[in-house]
A = this chain, B = another copy of it.
């Protein structure tokens, strides 16, 4: 929280009345089936990287209908390499844009808020391994299945319907609130980076990623790499005259596991990370090599990511990584025989963040979390997420208190991804109560608007 925000205390900052709280909770319940319908529509959108225009058009329309001031925001690639929030991009961004919806009260009394959610999703893998088509939202018991249902279209629906509920309760926020529907979280973070770099800041940001209704205390810094190695192609009749690029790639991967182990060992000295399982988490996400079944393959490329700790500069970790690969190239007897492996940075290069315990934002969220599961839910737990989160950008580059808190989901990035609808309902309530308390509320002037939604 900025000093300015601390000074914005006003009558609206007093605890929500029980009546208002109950009205908000009831409004979430009343709209919940519509929220699930909306979420299902979002899941139907195949918003893979570069294909987000469809879902963003839907989100844009949803926000316009609700009276937000809405802007499309194209990623300005000239900022990449200039503004520290950006990571290297390997694609053009013509068809990938953020949608930013803003509500500004006539008089601002409370603390401003950004609700951020990303719309991009990762590929589904073989759709035949799914119970249902990955893009056919399917309700089964408490779960809604579909790629992106948990990560994080449910969270986006929660943000929108939480603010709806405040209005439906006859209230309006007394501080500016923004909804950022962003692209590129799954690869570079450049969607959120663009929102931040263009001056869209607030006194807090809340990102409803699927966190099992827990708060993220810290995340890991992440760097995403591609390594290409060239061997010497040959005919199988003279294997020894060739050097297999696939074999060399496998050797490099094998060595990188030692780097992962070394970085994991550092966890004992890192606050919050000491009991995290595999905080560095080297994963090789893709590999592609060779072009003919009966030739010693000439080239192989693999992509992956590796993590480190809040406070570590990603540039230092990149240097360490590059030096490690160079050492492998110099010392491994097989890799020696290849041309120098080429390391490229093809996605996020970003530091991790820590949400220092004891912040006002966390305190307000913790109260909202308990109150959402009326009459009294369990206390808010916090944990470490050893992965990249857009929250890091706000925390690291703008010092904004960043809360990552969202519904229970299973199998994100995997087969049969699903989100718990009862959890989504609770989280929507938590966000609504959090926004009401953080921004402050007063009886709505614009009754017509309240009735409309």
B305 with A294: CB separation less than 8 A: yes
Which residues of B are found within 8 Å of A415, using beta-carbon distances? 232-233, 298
How near does chain B come to A430, taking the closest CB pair, in angstroms?
21
CA distance A290 to B291 in the complex (A): 17
CA distance A123 to B253 in the complex (A): 26
CA distance A350 to B186 in the complex (A): 47
> In chain A between 86 and 126, which residues have their CB closer than 8 angstroms to a CB of chain B?
122-123, 125-126
Which of A39-47, A239-247, A267-275 is near enough to bind chain B? A239-247
Q: A296-B283, A297-B284, A413-B295 are in contact. Are A233 and B290 (CB under 8 A)?
A: no
A283 with B278: CB separation less than 8 A: no
CA distance A285 to B299 in the complex (A): 10
B387 with A235: CB separation less than 8 A: yes
Which residues of B are found within 8 Å of A304, using beta-carbon distances? 293
Q: A286-B297, A292-B413, A297-B286 are in contact. Are A281 and B126 (CB under 8 A)?
A: no
**Identical chains bound together, number:** 2
Which residues of B are found within 8 Å of A74, using beta-carbon distances? none
A239 with B278: CB separation less than 8 A: yes
> In chain A between 380 and 438, which residues have their CB closer than 8 angstroms to a CB of chain B?
385-388, 412-415
Closest to A289 in B: B287
Contact with B along A229-259 (1 / 0, CB 8 A): 0101111110111101011001001100000
Residue in A187, A293, A295 whose Cβ sees the most chain B Cβ within 10 Å: A293
Which residues of B are found within 8 Å of A346, using beta-carbon distances? 293
Asked whether A307 is an interface residue with its Cβ less than 8 Å from the other chain, the reply is yes
CA distance A356 to B125 in the complex (A): 52
Closest to A347 in B: B293
CA distance A277 to B385 in the complex (A): 51
Number of residues of chain A lying within 8 A (CB) of chain B: 64
A387 with B237: CB separation less than 8 A: yes
> In chain A between 272 and 328, which residues have their CB closer than 8 angstroms to a CB of chain B?
277-278, 281, 283-300, 302-305, 307
Asked whether A224 is an interface residue with its Cβ less than 8 Å from the other chain, the reply is yes
A286 with B284: CB separation less than 8 A: no
- The residue that A236 contacts in the complex, of B226, B287, B295, B305, with Cβ under 8 A, is B305
Which residues of B are found within 8 Å of A241, using beta-carbon distances? 414
B286 with A287: CB separation less than 8 A: no
- The residue that A235 contacts in the complex, of B254, B291, B302, B412, with Cβ under 8 A, is B412
A298 with B237: CB separation less than 8 A: no
Asked whether A151 is an interface residue with its Cβ less than 8 Å from the other chain, the reply is yes
Which residues of B are found within 8 Å of A123, using beta-carbon distances? 291-292, 295
Q: A151-B235, A295-B413 are in contact. Are A300 and B283 (CB under 8 A)?
A: no
Which residues of B are found within 8 Å of A293, using beta-carbon distances? 187, 224, 226, 285-286, 303-305, 346-347
Asked whether A129 is an interface residue with its Cβ less than 8 Å from the other chain, the reply is yes
A187 with B294: CB separation less than 8 A: yes
Q: A125-B291, A290-B286, A293-B224 are in contact. Are A307 and B413 (CB under 8 A)?
A: no
Which residues of B are found within 8 Å of A297, using beta-carbon distances? 284-287
Closest to A90 in B: B293
> In chain A between 211 and 232, which residues have their CB closer than 8 angstroms to a CB of chain B?
222, 224, 226, 230, 232
CA distance A147 to B70 in the complex (A): 57
Contact with B along A21-65 (1 / 0, CB 8 A): 000000000000000000000000000000000000000000000
A294 with B285: CB separation less than 8 A: yes
Which residues of B are found within 8 Å of A290, using beta-carbon distances? 284-287, 303
Contact with B along A68-81 (1 / 0, CB 8 A): 00000000000000
- Residue ranges of A at the interface with B (Cβ–Cβ < 8 Å): 122-123, 125-126, 129, 151, 186-187, 222, 224, 226, 230, 232-237, 239-242, 244, 246-247, 250, 253-254, 277-278, 281, 283-300, 302-305, 307, 346-347, 385-388, 412-415
- For this complex, 11 residue pairs linking A to B, each with C-beta atoms less than 8 Å apart, are A186-B294, A232-B415, A239-B283, A240-B278, A244-B283, A285-B293, A287-B287, A292-B413, A293-B347, A295-B414, A298-B414
- 3 closest A-B pairs (Cβ-Cβ)? A286-B290, A237-B387, A125-B298
13 further contact pairs, Cβ within 8 A, besides A236-B283, A236-B386: A125-B298, A233-B415, A237-B387, A244-B284, A246-B286, A250-B253, A285-B293, A286-B289, A287-B289, A287-B297, A293-B304, A294-B305, A298-B414
